[in-house]
Amino acid sequence: MSVQAKLSPLSKRLFEAKRQKKLSFEQIGSKMGRDEVWVAALFYGQAKPTPEDGEKLSSILNIPQAHINDDLGPEFFPDRGGLMSIPPTDPTLYRFYEMIQVYGYPMKAIIHEKFGDGIMSAIDYTVKIDKEEDPNGDRVKITMSGKFLPYKKF
């Protein structure tokens, strides 16, 4: 099943409005005062907007506030993780999976050496995606920052 088939009607409407207005996630995020990755997560139903976020999104995309509130209001809770199979079949997403397959244990070992026994939070977390121009081919720069959470001893 495709990701598009799993999207809510509102998510499909958000993507269509974004396309019609020729806006990037970065442009929408700038107008909302939010990061572009968070805005993209919102479009996929994987982030929960505040009422103020909903008002701003309504204004930016010209979607009635009531429609946003109906689908993303107080009763909405994001479904984080249900959009893809594991391993993912999309080549871009598969490369992230491949990075973890190849470098996951080395990254884990270095986190443990530097911080101790624990994990990096994906809740208290930010990610930034930048384009680095390079004469040998442009590069994708991804900076992840997550709070370190030590395992509790009991």
CA–CA separation, 46 vs 5, rounded Å?
A: 15
Environment class of 45 (CB within 10 Å of its CB; exposed 0-12, middle 13-18, buried 19+) = buried
Catalytic status, residue 113: no
Options 121, 132, 133, 145, the catalytic residue = 121
Catalytic status, residue 13: no
Catalytic status, residue 121: yes
- Tokens standing for 101? 């397959």
Options 8, 30, 55, 98, the catalytic residue = 98
Options 24, 52, 95, 139, the catalytic residue = 95
Contacts of 70 (CB under 8 A, 6+ apart): 10
Active-site residue list: 95, 98, 121
